[in-house]
């Protein structure tokens, strides 16, 4: 099994992308460790995606109140589960436009 240096790994990743082969096939032909190849592929992909391409987050105004809404204290809440797995809870009677804008911003 050969052990390329960092610069050779970058060249190998480019060769792999142009080859049209599956990762396992490419590694077998190049006499490379599949797991090490996947590490370098992930590293290169992570580095090339960069943080510059991410859009800036959108913030919405939030009204802070001194105490929870009366309905929330009574346990009357509406829960919304997001695709990310996060759960957002609103007191029953919360303005639906506010909820819609918040959920749109959260994606």
Q: Model confidence over 61-77: pLDDT tens digits?
A: 777 666 555 555 566 78
Question: Percent of the chain scored above 90 by pLDDT?
Answer: 26
Q: What is the DSSP string of 76-97?
A: -EEEEE-TTS-EEEEETT--HH
Closest CA to 19 of 8, 30, 31, 34: 30
Residue 54 has pLDDT above 70, yes or no: no
Q: Give the pair of three-digit tokens for residue 20.
A: 């049209």
pLDDT at residue number 28: 94
> How confident is the model over 79-84, as a mean pLDDT?
80
What span, in angstroms and rounded, lies between the C-alpha atoms of 12 and 84?
A: 34
Domain ranges, ordered by start, for the chain? 6-49, 55-107
Predicted confidence (pLDDT) per residue in 16-30, tens digit: 999 999 999 999 999
What span, in angstroms and rounded, lies between the C-alpha atoms of 48 and 7?
A: 15
Query: Mean pLDDT in the chain?
Result: 81
- The answer to whether the beta carbons of residues 81 and 87 sit under 8 Å apart is yes
Residue scoring higher pLDDT (83 or 36): 36
CB under 8 Å to 105, separation ≥6 — which residues?
58, 59, 60
């Amino acid at each position: 099994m050969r052990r390329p240096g960092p610069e050779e790994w970058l060249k190998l990743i480019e060769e792999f992308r142009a080859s049209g082969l599956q990762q396992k096939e490419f590694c077998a032909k190049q006499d490379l460790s599949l797991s090490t190849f996947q590490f370098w592929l992930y590293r290169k992909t992570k580095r090339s995606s960069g943080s510059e391409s991410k859009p800036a987050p959108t913030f919405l105004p939030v009204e802070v109140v001194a105490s929870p809404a009366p309905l929330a204290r009574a346990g009357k809440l509406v829960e919304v589960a997001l695709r990310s797995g996060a759960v957002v809870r609103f007191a029953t009677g919360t303005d639906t436009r506010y909820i819609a804008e918040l959920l749109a911003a959260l994606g």
